[in-house]
Amino acid sequence: MADPKALCLHKLEQQSIQLDELIELLDCELDALASRNGENLKDLARKKLTLINGLQRIDKEIAAFGDAILNEEEISVSVLSIRKKLSLCQQKNEVNAQAARQAHLSVQQLKEILIGAPTSVTYDQGGSVKTSESNLVRNLKA
């Protein structure tokens, strides 16, 4: 039978590698959001889901070792490192979610302008919000 400590360290290393991949993927996701590359976003979303499922599976396997092994010094150092990487992933994911919301909002505003929404929101010279009637495409006969 394999040494439980060595097996646990191996699982932690696997999880660390997958978190590194997720960090890289989240960076690519932000680039795709910034460039509005929808096809790339679909591919990245599939990869992201696969990585998250893998991380959850490994996490369950690690949890099965119990607190006695997980509290050993060498293992607890690895666990701390993984928690830091996980926190970084969560921060990057939140940034990406905010970027996605902003992109969606700008597309929605552009759509409203193009379809001739009755009012549009703009800013005056002082930076204050100004609502005005939109006549941009009202008389379009396409």
Distance CA 96, CA 109 (A): 20
How many domains in the chain? Answer: 1
pTM of the model: 0.75
Question: Domain range for residue 81?
Answer: 4-100
Q: Do residues 80 and 19 make contact, with C-beta atoms less than 8 angstroms apart?
A: no
Distance CA 26, CA 22 (A): 6
Residue 111 lies in a domain: no
Confidence of residue 45 (pLDDT cuts 50, 70, 90): very high
Residue 85 lies in a domain: yes
Output the average pLDDT for the chain: 86
Residue 62 lies in a domain: yes
Per-residue pLDDT at 133: 57
Q: Which of 135, 90, 84 is nearest to 113 (CA)?
A: 135
Residue 119 lies in a domain: no
pLDDT over 70, % of the chain: 83
Q: Is the pLDDT of residue 84 over 70?
A: yes
Per-residue pLDDT at 43: 94
